[in-house]
Amino acid sequence: NTINFLFLVCYRALIFPLLIREGKPTPFFTFVLALLFCVFNGYLQGRSLTTYATYPPGWLGDPLFITGFLGWLIGMAINIHSDHILRNLRKPGETGYKIPRGGMFEYVSGANFFGEILEWFGFALACCTIESLAFALCTLFILCSRARQHHK
C-alpha cells in the first residue's frame, strides 16, 4: 500500500508536470496551498500505514484488498490515459477549446477526474484506514466540483 501511494504521488508530482507541453501559469498561492495539502496528506497516509495500520495474516489475499487494489490499478490506468488524451488535444501553437475523445471520455466528460477518484477509493478500500477514506472523500468533493466546472 505504501508503494502504491508513493507511485501515485511521484506520478502526479514529478512525471505528470514534466509531460505537460504548455499550460496556463498557476498562481503562486494556489501552488503553495496544493503543496501544503500534499505534504500534509502524504504525512498522514505514510504515518497511518507505517505506524498505526495493522493487517491480519493473509490480508493481501482478502477480497477487500484485492478489490481495492484492482480499483486503484484501473483508476490509475484511466487517469494516466485520460491525461495523455488531454495533453495531446492541441497541436503545438494551436489554441481554442477542444472536446476530448476516446477512452473514458466517451462515457464521462471528466475522465481524468473519474480515474483519480476511482484510484483513491480503491486505495482506501485496500488500506482500510480512516486516513485513506478521508483523503478519498476529499478527492471526491474537490474533483467533482472541478469536473462540473469543466463539463460546463
User: Please, how many CA atoms are within 13 Å of residue 9, restricted to the half-sphere of its CB?
Assistant: 17
Torsion sign over Cα 15, 20, 26, 30: negative
- Which residue would you say has higher pLDDT here, 98 or 117? 117
List the Cα angle 41/47/48 in 5-degree steps. Answer: 90
Tens-place pLDDT, residues 56-94: 999 999 999 999 999 999 999 999 999 899 888 877 777
Please give the Cα distance from 83 to 68 (Å, whole number): 22
C-alpha span between 43 and 107 (Å, rounded): 35
Residues 10-58 have pLDDT tens digits of 666 666 666 666 666 678 887 778 778 878 888 888 899 889 999 999 9
pLDDT of residue 21: 60
User: Where are the chain's structural domains?
Assistant: 59-151
Q: What is the pLDDT of residue 146?
A: 87
